[in-house]
Amino acid sequence: MDNKTTQITADSKSLSTSFQACYSSANELRDLLKMMMAGQSFKRETLILSMENAICALEKAYTYEKKMLNCDTDELDTKNMQSIPEEVQDWLSSTFTRKLSISNEESKHKFKSIANVIRAGIFVDRIYRRASLANFHISTPIVDALKKMNDWDFDVFELHKVSDEQSLRYIGIEVLNKYDLINKYKIPIKHLENFMNELTNGYKLYDNSYHNVVHAADVVQTVFYLIHRTKLQDTLTDIEKFGCFIAAMIHDYEHTGTTNNFHVKTSSQMALLYNDRSVLENHHLSRTFNMMREGETGILSALNNDEYREFRDLVIDMVLATDMSSHFQQVKTIKHLLVLPEYIDKSKALSLILHAADISHPCKPWQHHQKWTHSLMQEFFRQGDQELEMGLPFSPLCDKTTTLVPESQIGFINYIVDPCFQVLEAMLESILDYKDKCKTIKEKEDSSKHHGASTSMEVEKDRSSSMNNIVIRNPKKLKHTPWNQHISKNLENWKDIVSNPAKEKTFVPRRI
Ligand SMILES: [Zn+2]
């Protein structure tokens, strides 16, 4: 067991006793109920004892759940942050918690429980040929770049360069095709083309150095990796895969290159429209759903009402969860769910995957991480310039004359990215054996075809529970966790730069 697993286990050990008590009590009562239904006799004292145990366990669990759900403290431990500059502490605190937000009220939004293989490049080629777009030519460099989509170290910058800045369009269509979602949801090719063009234009609208179309393409590919290489794909329905990839594609559409806090403190039109709550995330969702629903960019017209509702619920949950101020709440919720004996809410699991992908650049090779850091700093400094012009105080890390780039990344990795990926890894390990569960259901289904109605009802019961939740049985180790080595290496590099300031000029300039 490695450090991170030990950490999570230790955190949850004291809680697991009371959860275990709930589980045992439920089993006891279920056995008694079965005996009653079968007309078997048992002692009155046995029933009284079981009920008393159940009451005790439920009360304990209720008290704990209530405490967890009402807890509005974020888990940024500032006591252990003495070694990093105050400005970096301010940035972490104002971005990833709600502490310095104008509104401190915790979101009351409750996530609802919702429930191949041709080489990359060839799918894209085939779909365009089928659509008779004779003049659409996919060059060999694009096909070559897309072939590496299964790799964690995928070079999105290279694809962007060779594809004439169309990285999102190629990656977007590629992932939809890999799971045959364009066929399944009868998406008109022309509409898909228009939608991808509009998405790309929206990401270019504010000419951001970080929150642009390359970042969107990078996040889509990272989500694809986390779903594809961990076999999480086997636990998802088609509509969940569709929602998941669309959420990744749209998650920063028309990003203004400024933060939610900036919108709120400047009382922007967007902040007014969305009442200061997850301002940008609400904008990304509202604008793209308008596009997707109808007209020449409509890609959802073939979904029936139930599919549309499930798709919309999931995409909204996932994109709202990319609001960085919900970071600690999200990580805490998943940690909490990991100690429960049976279920992880699928919507919450997919939301964590998108959030992790969104902050994953420190988990990528140094040369990519360094580029992303440079771009992000440029964007922060542009916001700082606007703040200076407007006579507002600088937001943390936005003053280009004082900002400490390496220190900010060290804090970001240590306090945000690494803990997030630890929980993500533990979560993925916990749900790995869900595939076996699906296999069992399939076997039961096959068997029910030969054994009458009662078996079919059992299968239906199993299926409905599997649709809503991911069942945890025996956690398995992930085969591929390439992010760990990059996190360590990148952290080492930043520390090296801090201790040898001369090196910094080689990597990231302190001032842009
Ligand atoms: Zn993003």
Tell whether the model's pLDDT for residue 227 goes beyond 60: yes
Per-residue pLDDT band for 10 (boundaries 50, 70, 90) equals: very low
Tell whether the model's pLDDT for residue 133 goes beyond 50: no
Domain end (from 45, 67, 89): 67
Comparing 217 with 83, the larger pLDDT belongs to 217
Tell whether the model's pLDDT for residue 115 goes beyond 50: no
The sign one gets for the Cα dihedral 21, 473, 483, 160 is negative
CA 379 to centroid of ligand 1, rounded, Å: 13
CA 211 to centroid of ligand 1, rounded, Å: 6
CA 357 to centroid of ligand 1, rounded, Å: 8
327: domain range? Answer: 78-115+188-433+472-507
Most confident range, picked from 107-121, 412-426, 433-447? 412-426
Residue 300's pLDDT is what? Answer: 98
CA 407 to centroid of ligand 1, rounded, Å: 22
Tell whether the model's pLDDT for residue 64 goes beyond 70: no
Tell whether the model's pLDDT for residue 472 goes beyond 90: no
Q: Is there a domain that residue 180 lies in?
A: no
Mean pLDDT of the chain: 81
C-beta separation of 127 from 173 below 8 A: yes
C-beta separation of 356 from 421 below 8 A: yes
Residue 136's pLDDT is what? Answer: 46
CA 258 to centroid of ligand 1, rounded, Å: 12
| Average pLDDT rounded to a whole number, residues 481-490 | 96
**Taking the CB of residue 41, how many other CB atoms lie within 10 A of it?**
6
Tell whether the model's pLDDT for residue 108 goes beyond 50: no
- Do 381 and 345 fall within a single domain? yes
Comparing 483 with 5, the larger pLDDT belongs to 483
Tell whether the model's pLDDT for residue 95 goes beyond 50: yes
- Do 41 and 88 fall within a single domain? no
| Average pLDDT rounded to a whole number, residues 91-119 | 45
| Average pLDDT rounded to a whole number, residues 53-71 | 68
Q: Is there a domain that residue 33 lies in?
A: yes
Tell whether the model's pLDDT for residue 73 goes beyond 80: no
Helix/strand/coil for 347: helix
- In the chain, pLDDT over 70 holds for what percent of residues? 73
Residue 62's pLDDT is what? Answer: 67
Domain end (from 46, 67, 88): 67
Tell whether the model's pLDDT for residue 292 goes beyond 70: yes
- Do 61 and 193 fall within a single domain? no
Tell whether the model's pLDDT for residue 314 goes beyond 80: yes
What φ, ψ does residue 137 adopt, rounded to 5°?
-115, 130
- Do 298 and 274 fall within a single domain? yes
Residue 181 is encoded by which pair of tokens? 């979602």
Q: Which of 191, 211, 327, 361 does the annotation list as catalytic?
A: 211
Report the range of poorest mean pLDDT among 158-167, 398-407, 456-465, 496-505.
456-465
Residue type, 319: V
Q: Tell me the C-alpha distance between 345 and 465, whole Å.
A: 11
Report the range of poorest mean pLDDT among 104-108, 196-200, 310-314, 481-485.
104-108
What φ, ψ does residue 469 adopt, rounded to 5°?
-145, 160
Beta bridge partners of 399: none
Q: Is there a domain that residue 83 lies in?
A: yes
CA 250 to centroid of ligand 1, rounded, Å: 9
Most confident range, picked from 98-102, 104-108, 329-333? 329-333
Q: Is there a domain that residue 391 lies in?
A: yes
Tell whether the model's pLDDT for residue 460 goes beyond 50: no
Query: Which uninterrupted H or E stretch holds 493?
Result: helix 483-499
Per-residue pLDDT tens over the stretch 32-54: 888 888 988 888 888 888 888 88
Q: Is there a domain that residue 61 lies in?
A: yes
Q: Is there a domain that residue 284 lies in?
A: yes
Active site residue 137: no
Residue 322's pLDDT is what? Answer: 98
| Average pLDDT rounded to a whole number, residues 389-397 | 94
- Do 266 and 223 fall within a single domain? yes
Comparing 46 with 57, the larger pLDDT belongs to 46
Number of domains in the chain: 2
| Average pLDDT rounded to a whole number, residues 232-257 | 96
CA 163 to centroid of ligand 1, rounded, Å: 21
Residue type, 260: N
- Do 196 and 241 fall within a single domain? yes
- Burial of residue 474 (CB within 10 Å: 0-12, 13-18, 19+) is exposed
- Do 338 and 278 fall within a single domain? yes
Per-residue pLDDT band for 66 (boundaries 50, 70, 90) equals: low
Give 430-483 as a 3 state SS string: HHCCHHHHHHHHHHHHHHHCCCHHHHHHHHHHHHHHHHHEEECCCCCCCCCCCH
10 Cβ partners below 8 Å, 6+ apart? Answer: none
Tell whether the model's pLDDT for residue 296 goes beyond 70: yes
- Burial of residue 274 (CB within 10 Å: 0-12, 13-18, 19+) is buried
Comparing 26 with 213, the larger pLDDT belongs to 213
- Do 268 and 292 fall within a single domain? yes
Q: Tell me the C-alpha distance between 484 and 257, whole Å.
A: 29
Please identify every residue whose CB atom is under 5 Å from ligand 1, which is an ion. Answer: 252, 358
Residue 458's pLDDT is what? Answer: 40
Residue 124's pLDDT is what? Answer: 52
Residue type, 363: C
Q: Is there a domain that residue 503 lies in?
A: yes
CA 217 to centroid of ligand 1, rounded, Å: 10
Q: Tell me the C-alpha distance between 217 and 207, whole Å.
A: 16
9-12 long-range contacts, Cβ below 8 Å, gap at least 24? 11/335, 12/335, 12/336, 12/338, 12/339
Report the range of poorest mean pLDDT among 116-130, 176-190, 386-400.
116-130
Residue 163's pLDDT is what? Answer: 95
Give the CATH number of the domain where residue 411 resides.
Answer: 1.10.1300.10
Helix/strand/coil for 344: strand
CA 149 to centroid of ligand 1, rounded, Å: 19
CA 358 to centroid of ligand 1, rounded, Å: 5
Residue 380's pLDDT is what? Answer: 96
Per-residue pLDDT band for 5 (boundaries 50, 70, 90) equals: very low
Report the range of poorest mean pLDDT among 110-124, 154-168, 360-374, 409-423.
110-124
- Do 491 and 351 fall within a single domain? yes
**Single pTM value for the model:** 0.75
Comparing 105 with 394, the larger pLDDT belongs to 394
Tell whether the model's pLDDT for residue 104 goes beyond 90: no
- Do 49 and 22 fall within a single domain? yes
- Do 58 and 30 fall within a single domain? yes
- Do 223 and 287 fall within a single domain? yes
Per-residue pLDDT band for 357 (boundaries 50, 70, 90) equals: very high
Q: Is there a domain that residue 93 lies in?
A: yes
Among residues 478, 340, 490, which one has the least CA distance to residue 5?
478
Report the range of poorest mean pLDDT among 68-82, 180-194, 352-366.
68-82
Residue 15's pLDDT is what? Answer: 55
